[in-house]
Structures are given as structure tokens and as C-alpha cells.
Amino acid sequence: EPEVTQTPSHQVTQMGQEVILRCVPISNHLYFYWYRQILGQKVEFLVSFYNNEISEKSEIFDDQFSVERPDGSNFTLKIRSTKLEDSAMYFCASSVGPVYFGPGTRLTVL
């Protein structure tokens, strides 16, 4: 069964550093998403991406965040200057109907 994949599974970085989280969505899907889950809290929507542009973003998705689909398969989330509060599990997802999630990247900002 096709699945969404994410790399790395765990990323540790220093505060102020840039990180790029990578995702390979399911190949025939049209919508792409990033969600995050701070430890012990709810899953929060960050951004959705369709037709090579952002279709919706939440208030969390400020100027420090950006997304890109650099080629036909990858979908990336960049955090320009990480803060301690960015520590969370970041889930990539894709859909052409129900949303399917990747296993997540645990980001730890020290």
C-alpha cells in the first residue's frame, strides 16, 4: 500500500538554526500538508499546498516557515530560525480525498 514517507525521523538542532524537514507524499495525491503536534497536545494544522502554491495556512505558520515542492516527488518544510517552542512532532500528509499521514519527524530544538 502506498504511504507517505518522512525524513529524518528525528532531528536535533540548536536554537536559531535552520532546519528542513522532508516528505515524499503518495504519488497520485494532489494536496499536501504539514501538521505539528507538540508533546502531549493536539495535532495542529500548519499549511496546505495545492497546485504548487499554499492554499491555506494557520496563524502558527509565520514568516519563519516556508514550504516547497522542489521536484515532482518531494515536499519540504523549512524553519528558518528555530525556537525552543518549535520542538514538536511534524507530520506531513497528502490527499486526494482522505488525508494520509507520514510517520512524523520529531524535531528537538536545544
Interface ranges with other proteins (CB under 8 A): 4, 30-31, 33, 35, 41-45, 48, 50, 55-56, 91, 95-104
**Nearest-approach distance from CB 81 to other proteins, in angstroms:** 26
Give me 23's grid cell: 516528505
Backbone angles phi, psi at 33, to 5 degrees: -140, 155
Residues present in the chain in total: 110
- Asked if residues 64 and 49 have their Cβ atoms less than 8 Å apart, the reply is no
> Quick one: 70 or 97, whose CB is closer to other proteins?
97
Q: Residue 43 CB, nearest distance to other proteins (Å)? A: 4
- Residue 45 or 76: the one with the smaller Cβ distance to other proteins is 45
Asked whether the bond before 98 is cis by omega within 30 degrees of 0, the reply is no
Of 15 and 43, CB closest to other proteins: 43
